[in-house]
Structure 1
Amino acid sequence: MKFKSLFFLFLLFTAAILITNQSPKRQTATAQANDQLIYMPVINSGYDTDLIISSLEITQAVQKADNSVPLVGSKPTIVRVYAQTIAGTPPSGVKVSLTAARNNTLLGTITSTAKIVPKNPQRSDYSSTFNLQLPDSWLSGTVEITATVDVENIVLEYKGNNNYNATLVFNSVPPLDVKIVPINYTHNPTGAFFPGQQQDRISDYLKRTYPVPSVNVSFRGAYNFQGDLRNGNDWVQLLYDVTDLKQTDNAPNSQVYYGLVPIENGATQWFFGGIAGIGWVGWRASVALNLSQSSSGPLAAHEIGHNFGRNHAPCGNPAGVDASYPYAGASIGEYGVDVLNGQLLLPSQYVDMMSYCSPEWVSDYTYQALYNDQLVSGKVLSQARVDGLMIRVRMDEDGRPVLQPVYALTHTPFVGDVSDEYAVELLDVTGEVVGRYPLFTVLAEEEGVSARMWGVSVPMPDVALGGVRVVAGKTAVSERVFTPAAFYTTATPVLKDTADSLVLSWPFSAPTLVRYTIDDGQTWITYALAAEGELVIEKENLPAENGRFQLIPADTTHATLTLDYNN
């Protein structure tokens, strides 16, 4: 509270004291008495202005009026100060300050630019509030802040209740880790080749809309894919491939594998509309087009949103709509703020990024769900890799499960919802069941295309296997027969080194997974998921360091072949 105390004292001690005799004199025998009333003047200060701070809104992308959307540590933060004039004429040239402390230690003070203090600041009017971006050093732990309006005391007020206190809690959330997989795409209808691009057009938008402190983007070596991505089935196959790459590269479950498909090579272009991407709901792998800077970010936010467990918001007639989405027409519901660009985003104009409409931003509903998922699934677990059978089941065009080649290797385990339809059984060489395991499943849906995947990571069995089968109840629906390891272990792979490429060959035709390590198997880069007898690897796609190739034939155990390479 501010007091203009010196001014008041001056008026008080310089005012005339009016003394008026209110009754006639009376004579008495002993004394003379005077009844007197003493009048003090009522001094009007002349102050008819009063300023207050009615509330604060602390936002990092979207916020509710009660500030219940959680704050993320180290994420850029805006405080909207709702200072208002509640009496008198709104004064101009007024500044607002924020002072912060953590554990009773002063962090500092920041001050806004000068402006008019309005009578009625509105959430819908960004210019009606004092908007201050917090320093990076304030964005962790529990921080006590005090907001003060008219910090320079330029306004004469008759009350001057100018402070507002708030406690901010910044939560520790793991960074978002994205591995971009450039796709070398051969477009079958024309035979045109579109080389994969190591371009990051997605992290800026993800930083602005996702509840994470940062977005770490890295690039994997390019992956070769041939097909027709105007067709939904080929999109599904590419999604399957990128999923397999994540598992066989030994990537952590917390990392998003993001297949990036080029649409042009010089003046040649293959994409003129249609499917732009697809991602698993609840498993961190997606594929999408490498569009313009303005379009790639929202597309990535949508597909990675699926990876975080989000279904579609109800606008644009998508499949797989989230029945619990709280706002009609996929409105973002609350006011968004693009903190890095200082822009207010109105719920009457912006829709949630999980819809098919635009312009898009993130709703508080989606933001909270992304936050919850990243707290759990964003952690890198040291026990993420398993040494065992990587069992994968795909859905064919008729919706039936088909068991894929089974590989015995160290890999990232698949996670998802437990399937109530299918399980997997291991058979010994006599056909007896020696193990039964539930399958996990995830779904992907976009307009005109859907995919389902089942999978499980099974510990390496102690007995020789004769096969693996998928069962519905007690009925086998898909099966693969195993080959004894001795058939492969006597084989010798051959590596031919040319000027621009390596030609790797081996004397059997079974589907073979080929991968390369430079850190003794801690991480891998997979070059082929089901090669048959030969593989050509461009040297530009090889790491510069010396390493080791691993050739793993399908449908067998203990038959891995290795080959050292000095690059």
Structure 2
Amino acid sequence: MAIRSASSWGAALAFLTGAAAVGVSTGCGESEKGAAVAPQAQGGCGDCGGEGGASEPPAGGAPGGSSSGGSGQVGAGDAGSPPALPPELTLDALSIFQTLEIPLMADGRSLAVGTRAVPLVAGKRALVRAFVELDARFEARPLLGVLDIRTGEREHSVLSERIISGPSAPDDLASTFVFEVAAEDLAADSAYRVRVLETDTTPLARFPETGFDDLGARALGPFRLVLVPYVANGFTPKTGEAELAALRRRLLALYPSRDVEISVSPPVTLSYPVGADDAGWDKALDTIYELREQAAAAPEVFYYGLLAPAESYDAYCPNSCLLGLAYIADERDESERAAIGVGVFPNGTGDGDAEDTAAHELGHALGRDHAPCGISDPSDTDPDWPADAAHKNALIGAYGYDFELQRLIKPRPNKDVMSYCSPAWVSEYTYAGIFDRLQAIHAESPAAAAVQVPQALRVARIDRSGRSHWLAPRLKPSPSLPGKVALLDSRERVVASTPARFTRLDHGRGGKVWLPERTLKAPGAVSVDLRPFGGGLLAL
């Protein structure tokens, strides 16, 4: 495919029209650089009033075919004249891609922002596809597509050159006009229009027919991540520039963030063995939450513990193994914004698993449960996962785009990154859920949190084997405790109940139970009953 930036557009117009054009036409008679632009195909500036670029052709259509707007409609002829022929080419649909496809227009009609399955993120690079329909009279030939983006008082244009020989197909990028939009050109107030021109700049089609349509991009802060390399069994994961860049690219590809900011803390040596059969993983998970709390991290900062418990991936995982662990975090629980997982091993192996494991485990820290593929226990999957055929067995349900490989991601066979299946991408359901969680986190007010009265809590930890023990007491402002837990006497009779909240591990049994300290002092109570959560009786 041929994709040019705005700086090439003026030169292309100059070459195609023979004019000494420089820059991009943004009005009548001047370019962005103030130089003369190519003359209009039909002469004059019939499309002024802020509508830069080529003018509309006179009645009768452009040479070689009729012109049309996005709807493909043309006006009727004079009374008594033959009816106007349909246009040879119409703009049938427009979509913008970041991680996933977001339809902008279909059948000549703009699609409301509120109907989108996923948000468009301001400041994140994008790709626009323009789909065309052709009349039987259309003859294959080179055409120009122009995407104009207006942000405030600034207009920026991107050119796409195509030899159009047939109608556009969703699976074929080359059958559509394709425009890459730089991150800095996509803001919350950006609007767009798309035009199709002959090579002499004669207009053929455009959408919208007049003015610009709002893109409806939504602002969101960067995803901030602190990596903590664990020294496990004497081995330390690699955290060089190449490993950090690969992780950043993968998270930026799958997450609805305009940027991913990664920092690396000093290594932490684990005093216990870590095995593929989950030995040591519960303790390592507790450690990452403790480190985040000790650092007094900002609410939007996530922590991720990296492990490489052997020299190579194959040495650690010859058959099956545990690759990561996290809690399914509650939105209001800042302390659970952390996870652990395998990194790149000392000999450089395991890099592909490291990046997708991080996206998966941090997804749990962002409140996402498992997508239903490769999960042995149905209770470990998201009960709200979409039930339609497009998402069956964790299918992503929509087209996506991989900017690194410059290729389409098809709805089949790609699976959601929150499943255990591959090839992995991200579904509309997960992407929108992560956006909502990040938006809520960035909206948290430090001033509001400062005036909330902290409550003393006891935290009961249930590990994956079912063993229970107390963690250090915590102070949390206005905790949400929607459940109930029984308090028992020495004969295991219920003497009272206490508010509680259970945060479960991402797979298997285990998790944390949060209990108000003041309610545990009921007369006669000697233990708390954690059996409903996979634990046992824990002495008070």
**Which TM-score applies when normalising by structure 2?**
0.67
What is aligned with 2:31? none
How far apart in 2 are the matches of 1:198 and 1:338? 24
What is aligned with 2:155? 107
| Contiguous gaps of at least 5 residues in structure 1 | 10-41, 187-192, 425-435, 460-467, 481-567
Match of 1:323 among 369, 377, 383: 383
How far apart in 1 are the matches of 2:370 and 2:62? 65
Q: 1:405 to 1:50 in 2, by over 3 A?
A: closer
How far apart in 1 are the matches of 2:267 and 2:477? 23
Residue pair 2:142, 2:163 contacting (<8 A) in 1 also: yes
Q: 1:322 to 1:81 in 2, by over 3 A?
A: same
Q: Displacement of 1:279 after TM fit?
A: 1.4
Q: 1:416 to 1:6 in 2, by over 3 A?
A: closer
Residues 1:60 and 2:121 are matched in the alignment: no
SS in 2 for 1:238: helix
Instruction: Please say which structure displays the higher CA radius of gyration.
Output: 1
Residues 1:421 and 2:421 are matched in the alignment: no
Match of 1:222 among 258, 264, 267: 267
Q: How does 1:310-349 map to 2 (within 5 A)?
A: 310-319=368-377, 320-326=380-386, 327-349=391-413
Q: 1:262 to 1:309 in 2, by over 3 A?
A: same
What is aligned with 1:205? 250
Q: What's the C-alpha RMSD, in Å, of the aligned pairs?
A: 4.0
How far apart in 2 are the matches of 1:344 and 1:266? 32
Q: 1:457 to 1:382 in 2, by over 3 A?
A: farther
Q: Displacement of 1:394 after TM fit?
A: 0.4
Work out the percentage of aligned pairs sharing the same amino acid: 21
Query: How big is each residue's C-alpha offset from its partner over 1:88-116, in whole Å with a ceiling of 9 and x where there is no partner?
Result: 2343221100112234x24222211x212
SS in 1 for 2:354: helix
Match of 2:340 among 269, 280, 287: 287
What is aligned with 1:365? 429
What is aligned with 1:95? 144
SS in 2 for 1:230: coil
By percentage of residues, which structure has more strand?
1
How far apart in 1 are the matches of 2:343 and 2:102? 34
Residues 1:399 and 2:466 are matched in the alignment: yes
Amino acid at match of 1:311: D
Amino acid at match of 1:143: S
Residues 1:237 and 2:283 are matched in the alignment: yes
Residues 1:178 and 2:219 are matched in the alignment: no
Query: How big is each residue's C-alpha offset from its partner over 1:293-331, in whole Å with a ceiling of 9 and x where there is no partner?
Result: 332221111111111111111111344112332211211
Query: How big is each residue's C-alpha offset from its partner over 1:144-196, in whole Å with a ceiling of 9 and x where there is no partner?
Result: 211001164467x8xx444445320111112111111110112xxxxxx1135
SS in 2 for 1:300: helix
How far apart in 2 are the matches of 1:263 and 1:239? 14
Residues 1:117 and 2:184 are matched in the alignment: no
Q: How does 1:460-499 map to 2 (within 5 A)?
A: 471=528, 478-479=538-539
Residue pair 1:76, 1:134 contacting (<8 A) in 2 also: yes
Q: 1:177 to 1:249 in 2, by over 3 A?
A: same
Query: How big is each residue's C-alpha offset from its partner over 1:448-489, in whole Å with a ceiling of 9 and x where there is no partner?
Result: x44201346979xxxxxxxx987459xx95456xxxxxxxxx
What is aligned with 1:3? 57
Q: 1:182 to 1:267 in 2, by over 3 A?
A: closer
Amino acid at match of 2:158: I
How far apart in 1 are the matches of 2:262 and 2:408? 27
Q: 1:212 to 1:456 in 2, by over 3 A?
A: farther
Q: Displacement of 1:400 after TM fit?
A: 6.0
Residues 1:260 and 2:306 are matched in the alignment: yes
Q: How does 1:417-566 map to 2 (within 5 A)?
A: 418-421=482-485, 438-446=499-507, 449-455=508-514, 471=528, 478-479=538-539
| Contiguous gaps of at least 5 residues in structure 2 | 1-54, 64-80, 105-110, 330-335, 345-349, 489-496, 519-524, 531-535
Query: How big is each residue's C-alpha offset from its partner over 1:490-537, in whole Å with a ceiling of 9 and x where there is no partner?
Result: xxxxxxxxxxxxxxxxxxxxxxxxxxxxxxxxxxxxxxxxxxxxxxxx
Q: Displacement of 1:218 after TM fit?
A: 0.9
Residues 1:247 and 2:285 are matched in the alignment: no
Q: Displacement of 1:404 after TM fit?
A: 2.6
Q: 1:440 to 1:342 in 2, by over 3 A?
A: same
What is aligned with 2:324? 277
Residue pair 1:284, 1:307 contacting (<8 A) in 2 also: yes
